[in-house]
Structure 1
């Protein structure tokens, strides 16, 4: 990618002047990774967050939280003071209520989120877009400080956003609109920003499987089940190794997932804590005290410390000041009332969610063995924020024994895997940099097709679909679905699926046309199209164009090609509605 343009300014070719930005918009925490000028091996993570507490500023991810003030002013992430009411969990509100399980739909956290939005007269889409705007602006500021204003202004942007694999297809369109409202797709000197999507588990897999390349015990035929255990969802994806040098993999079976992330463990602990208090004392507790109990005692204490070795011990938590009687307040520090929480109770908080995760892993392993018809060596790779949990690792390992390797990295790597993988995904799509892992085939998540009107064939079509076409003077079959791809099929990660389409124009037709669920709005100069004559001697124009469909994980890219030229995204828009 080092060829020079003819400008004489020494500029590298346009694809090298590019900033790739991966956005992991999570239920509880969000992260951003980036690279520029094709330096995939020099990827960086956004930090230096505005923070109410200095110790949080260099964390690799920021809380997915916002807080509105009385004049509609807004603070977000770490900058929200701990005592201030804030909106969390709002990512899940992007889904229609009927697409959430009953226990999630009715959870206290989602009820609190809905009430907060109602109180401030905001919609979930508005909250998501305003959070993304602040996350984006902060990231752009930090990237500019690193690579310089000139590089930023004259480099194209390729943004990759991640989505849970289990989300319905309409969520992608809603996220695209939220990104647009957040200014991510705003006009730039360097041209239009490209926005694509990838599933969270695939992004996590790309970021973690490269570490497997140099392992002597990894052989062709081995399989990897990547379990991305995050805040809201746990998503799984499975790959089979087809080559070790370089590491080439193919998606083995359709991925699975569920709403069984860390937030549900947090909510279960909150309910346990609430049960320890008399009702009046819990209701009397100030918001800051409740926050400190959940953050200091649970989030940074019990939750991180708990494992199988500590399941037999207990924890003592001091009763908040406002929940004590006057006599208790006058007592010594040693006599301060305490709440006792047993290891058995903490185990009961974790286990229901961990059981759901182990069931998902078990289902993937069974499906892999059924698909391959063999008993391959299986590695289960734990990633995501909750994927770092020691107790989760121990329980998964205990559940599957020594026959399956359970791998869990330490530090920030599992936590940042998704945003890093999003960047690698974009580079893979463009063939940039030296990539350690190549995904050759994927499994289709749904069936995709286009509605055509082919020449009627008695051996293929129903008589009821037969209709006469005055222009071509032929019988055609109406409303025929041509399936480009069916659910469960193997798809190439690089080669587009192409279907050629012919549209006939009467010489009196208008010059703007709407094609199926893909809308192409552009000026067609009908008189300039090729002329044909039907059997009655009537002259008509013929427009030839192609549908190109490229599958990249959860993202399906549709494009229309006319005269060998791809029509830009300003001209092509996709309707992902499921009506």
Structure 2
């Protein structure tokens, strides 16, 4: 009887290939792109959304919205019926109040979002987790249908989530926790999932620059300003081209951004309608208001309006809003009365937001000019709002004489962020032809540690002076040592580090070393002394290893006392929006079982 052939052992995940998934979790819309290692030059966009109206299934993004029904049954995205109450803008509620501009914090949308969360007894973090879980499950279903269940089960997953460049570090950690709780990091057939972050403007820029690769007019030393105009945020980033093929760039000045996206234009137009309708606005059903804004504004006026247009728009007054005397004669007129939206009304909605965007662009252009000595070659508009005709006209009017303004059409600007996230991960992995390597980035904050330094009369404040009994000498307490200062060039290939020492009683019992805390500040130049008003904790590096002092190097103080000294190196790496911290003793990196990095979410 022939023996049954032995099943070949499953190859390790690295040889099974990699599935790369880029997730653009936006304020108003979210999108997902993916590829896999043997087809990494082909990026696919998730569509096929469940849709209550059956007319948005093939859109390349879905609304960032959820609705809690009876027994907490959740609908999300396009599947929410238009008349249903729903939660939007929840992304901004991951920020602490003090990090939300007052005009946004007090806006109706934020108030409605908070009210909705309170009504359903949910936190912003729980709501974001719920949305991500549904987005993820739908994405995995689509990916499985596209590349097979075997690939999804056995390949290594690399997920890249994009974040606004202006977000504080604690918000990034909240996103990581939400992704974990949404099941995105669950082990599949024993294979761990890798999660990294990248800033939205960098992802958008990578996709845009990849589209430009091979063009004869793109040359070494050229500089570009990429303006990512989204629903809530507008982020700007500037690059200098180091090498055209394969494309290598460096961030040449510190990026900028602000909360001045499309939703603020939408709010301003809503105020125009309220003024035009007067008392009739309050008579209108909320679902009719939403439908009017969607059909008349979002898919009509906002997309098509151009600078210099003299066209007015007539919007019918719904029957429910007619005054009593108008209803009495309704049979005698051929159509419902209308209100008129003039070009001046539309400009009033656009202009305050566009002027803020132009101010950001002006600052970025001037920074590039000061650093490089020449104007940027291009200002490139991307993002959903970046497709707007009126925005292009106003930006071109302001800067077109000195910088060429580019604006792609179709889905490319809207999907730039999630596509760029995929290209970023593929570049890191060294697979495929799609490659835009960011050689250096500019630090947007200063990062460092708080420690005690040997006393220096010339440098230190007398109130910081104290006597160290173990070493028998004077020290200055609570001094800041910065690994990276705001504006510094940082690279993933060349980590920055600092050597740290901890003293132990030589005859004391084994114990765990003290935690090492990493701090950040946006004050420049960064303070040399600890200041809780401007320095915030980023994360804590917690030792899990118990150290026996008798195994450490032995030192003597000036009076003959003996003590032990633990010397290690704290290393910081940066790739996109992902910062990593590690501890090295000598040349050996302490593993995850020895040290653990806990990020602050406050």
> Deviation digits for residues 529-573 of structure 1, max 9, x if unmatched?
445353677765544432121123443222223562353399422
Structure 2 counterpart of 1:247: 247
Find out whether 1:574 has 2:598 as its counterpart: yes
Structure 2 counterpart of 1:82: 82
Structure 2: how far apart are the matches of 1:13 and 1:75?
35
Find out whether 1:375 has 2:374 as its counterpart: yes
User: Shift in Å at residue 183 of structure 1?
Assistant: 2.5
Structure 1 counterpart of 2:483: 484
User: Shift in Å at residue 275 of structure 1?
Assistant: 1.3
SS of the residue 1:381 aligns to: strand
User: Shift in Å at residue 467 of structure 1?
Assistant: 4.8
Structure 1 counterpart of 2:317: 319
The answer to whether the Cα contact below 8 Å between 1:429 and 1:494 also exists between their aligned partners in 2 is no
Structure 2: how far apart are the matches of 1:131 and 1:335?
43
Aligned CA distance change for structure 1 residues 543 and 158 (closer, same or farther; 3 Å) = farther
Aligned CA distance change for structure 1 residues 292 and 425 (closer, same or farther; 3 Å) = same
User: Shift in Å at residue 93 of structure 1?
Assistant: 1.6
User: Shift in Å at residue 528 of structure 1?
Assistant: 8.3
Structure 1 counterpart of 2:542: 520
Structure 2 counterpart of 1:263: 263
Give the structure-1-normalised TM-score.
0.91
Give the structure-2-normalised TM-score.
0.87
User: Shift in Å at residue 481 of structure 1?
Assistant: 2.5
Find out whether 1:292 has 2:274 as its counterpart: no
SS of the residue 1:290 aligns to: helix
Aligned CA distance change for structure 1 residues 503 and 429 (closer, same or farther; 3 Å) = farther
Please give the root-mean-square deviation of Cα atoms over the aligned residues, in Å.
2.7
Residues 102-251 of structure 1: pairs in structure 2 closer than 5 A: 102-251=102-251
Aligned CA distance change for structure 1 residues 377 and 538 (closer, same or farther; 3 Å) = closer
SS of the residue 1:55 aligns to: coil
Structure 1: how far apart are the matches of 2:428 and 2:483?
20
Structure 2: how far apart are the matches of 1:453 and 1:24?
42
Residues 326-337 of structure 1: pairs in structure 2 closer than 5 A: 327=327, 330-331=330-331, 334-337=334-337
User: Shift in Å at residue 295 of structure 1?
Assistant: 0.9
Count of aligned residue pairs for this structure pair? 569
Structure 2: how far apart are the matches of 1:39 and 1:532?
57
Structure 1: how far apart are the matches of 2:593 and 2:80?
37
Structure 1: how far apart are the matches of 2:457 and 2:104?
51
User: Shift in Å at residue 155 of structure 1?
Assistant: 2.7
Structure 2: how far apart are the matches of 1:434 and 1:16?
19
For structure 1, list consecutive stretches of 5 or more residues without a partner in the other structure. Answer: 1-6
Structure 2: how far apart are the matches of 1:17 and 1:471?
54
Structure 2: how far apart are the matches of 1:331 and 1:241?
68
Aligned CA distance change for structure 1 residues 569 and 32 (closer, same or farther; 3 Å) = farther
Structure 2 counterpart of 1:395: 394
The answer to whether the Cα contact below 8 Å between 1:512 and 1:523 also exists between their aligned partners in 2 is yes
The answer to whether the Cα contact below 8 Å between 1:31 and 1:416 also exists between their aligned partners in 2 is yes
Structure 2: how far apart are the matches of 1:41 and 1:393?
30
Aligned CA distance change for structure 1 residues 569 and 367 (closer, same or farther; 3 Å) = farther
SS of the residue 1:253 aligns to: coil
The answer to whether the Cα contact below 8 Å between 2:27 and 2:231 also exists between their aligned partners in 1 is yes
Structure 1 counterpart of 2:435: 436
SS of the residue 1:32 aligns to: strand
Find out whether 1:546 has 2:546 as its counterpart: no
Structure 1: how far apart are the matches of 2:220 and 2:269?
43
